[in-house]
Structure 1
Amino acid sequence: MITRIISGVIGIVLAAYVIQEGGQTFSIAAAVLAILAWFEYTRAFSHRGGSPALFSGLLGIGGMLYGAYMGQLELILLALMGSAVLALITAVLMRGDVSVPDVCVSVAGICYIGLPFAHLIMLRALSGASYVTPIETFDLGTAMIWVMFIGTWSSDSFAYFAGRAFGAHKLAPAISPNKTIEGFVGGLLGTVAAVAGLGYLLQMPLTHMAGLGAVIAILGTLGDLVESLMKRYAGIKDSGAIIPGHGGIWDRFDSVLFTAPLVYYYTIYFVLH
């Protein structure tokens, strides 16, 4: 537990620095995390005997993140299309070594990991109104990145503690035996309160922010369950051990893969319009 806490504190400090810096620093950090998550993803399915298209994924995810950094949707689509075609062509050229399921796993993984991290970069790059708080003045992208991360962390933390204190009914026993309905409800209520509190601090509509908090909790939980389902299929417990006490990058960002696009589109359609 001490190792987990220390790693968590160090991670939060590093995240705060990267978020506040933004720009190239944030994009490079996102790219490193995405690439590490991709390596963990391919290793997980290789553990079951598969052969995911590692090189195609690196090209596709790298291209999507570069497109997000440049603010060019066409580059993101080109990288996605190109990497998918390359993975399919690889299966044709290496028939017998790369199966059809391998290609499906590869293309799905490129979308599953690359697109959310691209949305993360685009979210941080959004510009608009400034938000003056007692702590600091935040631009739009910085404010909404904090909303996304704090909401996601709140969902995980409140669900964990509520589950330990009150958990009695399993939420999805066939996928994640430790998750409980009571934990999910605690995570939901805690996230609504946390995101609404951020809304008050940032002077955003409280009803909208409370609703956003609820959806963050729901999608964050589903993101966690999706990763658990994949790991159970692959026959592994953790995606990696790069973060002491926390597992791998994929383990830590499984919920963010779902909540980052959510907050991006919320910001585009409800804050900027």
Structure 2
Amino acid sequence: MITRIISGTIGIALAAYVIQEGGTIFSIAAAILAVLAWFEFTRAFSHRGGNPTLLSGLLGIGGMLYGAYLGQLDMILLALMASAVLALLTSVILRGDVSVPDVCISVAGIVYIGLPFAHLIMLRDISGAAYVTPIETFDLGTVMVWIMFIGTWASDSFAYFAGRSFGSHRLAPAISPNKTVEGFLGGLIGTIAALVGLGYVLSMPLTQMAGLGAAIAVLGTFGDLVESLMKRHVGIKDSGAIIPGHGGIWDRFDSVLFTAPLVYYYTIYFVLR
């Protein structure tokens, strides 16, 4: 537990620095996390004898993140299309070593990991009204990234403690036996409360923030369950051990893969309009 707390504290401090800096530093950090998550993803599916196309994923994810950094949606689509074609060509050229299921898993993984991190970069780069707080004045992109991370962390934390304290009804026993309905409800209520509190401090519409909090809790839980389903399929407990006491990058960002696009589109369609 001490190791988990220490590594978590260091991680939050690093995240705060990267989020506040934004720009190239934020994009590089996102790219490093995405590449590490991709390595963990391909290694996980290799446990069952599969052979995902590592190179096509690196090129596709790298291209999508570079397109997000430049703000060029066409480049993101080009990188996605090119990586899918490369994966298919690899299956043809290396027939017998890269199977059709390997290609399908590879393309799905590129979309599953690459696009959410691209949305995260684009979210941080959104410009708009400044928000004044007792701590600092934040631009729109910074505020929304913080809202996304705080909401996701709140969902995980409140669900964990509510599940430990009151959990008795399994939420998805075939996928993740430790998750409970009570934990989910605790995470839902806690996330709504956290975002309403942030909305009050930032003078944002409280009803919308409550709805966003509920959506983050639901999609964050689904993100966690999706990763749990994949890990159960390939027969592993953790995706890695790069973060002491927390597992791998994929383990830590499984919910963010769902909540980052959510908050991006919320910002585009509700905050900027």
TM-score scaled by length of structure 2? 1.00
Amino acid at match of 1:232: R
| Structure 2 residue 260 is the aligned partner of structure 1 residue 260 | yes
Distance (Å, rounded) in 2 between the aligned partners of 1:138 and 1:203: 13
Deviations 1:55-77 (A, max 9, x none): 00000000000000000000000
Give unpaired runs (5+ residues) of structure 1: none
Rounded to whole Å, the distance in 2 between the matches of 1:251 and 1:187 is 18
Partner of 1:107: 107
Letter of the 1:176 partner, please give it. Answer: S
Aligned residue in 2 for 1:71: 71
Residue equivalent to 1:196: 196
Q: State, as a whole percentage, how many aligned pairs show the same letter.
A: 84
2:125 alignment counterpart: 125
| C-alpha displacement of 1:163 | 0.2
1:223 maps to 2:239: no
Counterparts of 1:16-27 in structure 2, within 5 Å, are: 16-27=16-27
Structure 2 unaligned residues grouped into runs of 5+:
none
Cα shift readout 1:205-227 (whole Å, capped 9, x = no counterpart): 00000000000000000000000
Q: Which residue number corresponds to residue 94 of structure 2? A: 94
3-state SS, counterpart of residue 12 of structure 2: helix
Q: State the one-letter code of the partner of 1:128.
A: G
**3-state DSSP of counterpart to 1:204:** coil
Q: What is the CA–CA distance in structure 1 between the aligned matches of 2:144 and 2:96, rounded to whole Å?
A: 47
2: CA distance between counterparts of 1:243 and 1:269?
35
Where has structure 1 moved over 6 Å in runs of 4 or more? none
Tell me the amino acid that sits aligned with residue 7 of structure 2: S
Deviations, residues 65-109 of structure 1 (Å, cap 9, x unaligned): 000000000000000000000000100111111100000000000
Cα offset for 1:135?
1.1
Matching of residues 124-273 of structure 1 within 5 Å: 124-273=124-273
Backbone CA RMSD of aligned residues: 0.3
Name the SS for the 1:48 alignment partner.
coil
- Amino acid paired to 1:156: D
The letter for the 2-side match of 1:2 is I
Separation in 2 of the partners of 1:243 and 1:133?
A: 32
SS at match of 2:210: helix
Q: What is residue 3 of structure 2 aligned with on the other side?
A: 3
C-alpha separation in 1, matches of 2:136 and 2:163: 34
Secondary structure of 1:179's partner? strand
1:58, 1:232 → 2: CA distance?
24
Q: SS at 2:240's partner residue?
A: coil
Q: Quote the Cα distance in structure 1 between the aligned partners of 2:185 and 2:226.
A: 19
Equivalence for 2:44: 44
Q: Secondary structure, in 3 states, of the residue corresponding to 1:103?
A: helix
Task: Report which stretch shifted further, 195-204 or 50-59.
Answer: 195-204
SS of 1:177's equivalent in the other structure is strand
**2:225 counterpart SS class:** helix
| 2:32 matched residue in structure 1 | 32
- The alignment partner of 2:174 has SS state of coil
Q: Deviations over 1:207-260 (max 9, x none)?
A: 000000000000000000000000000100000000000000000000000000
CA–CA separation in structure 1 for the residues paired with 2:201 and 2:87: 46
